[in-house]
């Protein structure tokens, strides 16, 4: 019986670890996204000519800001 109880505790611990790991990943994604909002707004405030000097168009601003995370 004690062995089953121990296995149950390990299983519960593993599930709790997995839950908090997923929660942490979600928080990291939110923080990463919200921290880039200012960069997106700053780029959106640029003129089309300024964006062209960077080699992007207005519809690609989000792709440009998140280029290190996504290959779209």
Higher pLDDT, 63 or 6: 63
Return the pLDDT at 8: 55
CA torsion sign for 37, 41, 44, 49 is negative
Return the pLDDT at 36: 83
CB 69 within 8 A of CB 32: yes
- Measured CA to CA, the distance from residue 37 to residue 42 in angstroms comes to 9
| Count of helices and strands (H, E) across the chain | 3, 0
* pLDDT above 90 for 18: no
- Mean pLDDT for the chain? 80
């Amino acid at each position: 019986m004690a062995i089953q109880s121990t296995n149950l505790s390990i299983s519960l611990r593993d599930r709790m670890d997995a839950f908090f790991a997923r929660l942490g990943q979600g928080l990291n994604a939110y923080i990463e996204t919200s921290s880039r909002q200012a960069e997106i707004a700053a780029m959106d405030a640029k003129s089309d000519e300024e964006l062209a000097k960077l080699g992007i168009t207005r519809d690609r601003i989000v792709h440009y800001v998140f280029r290190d995370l996504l290959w779209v």
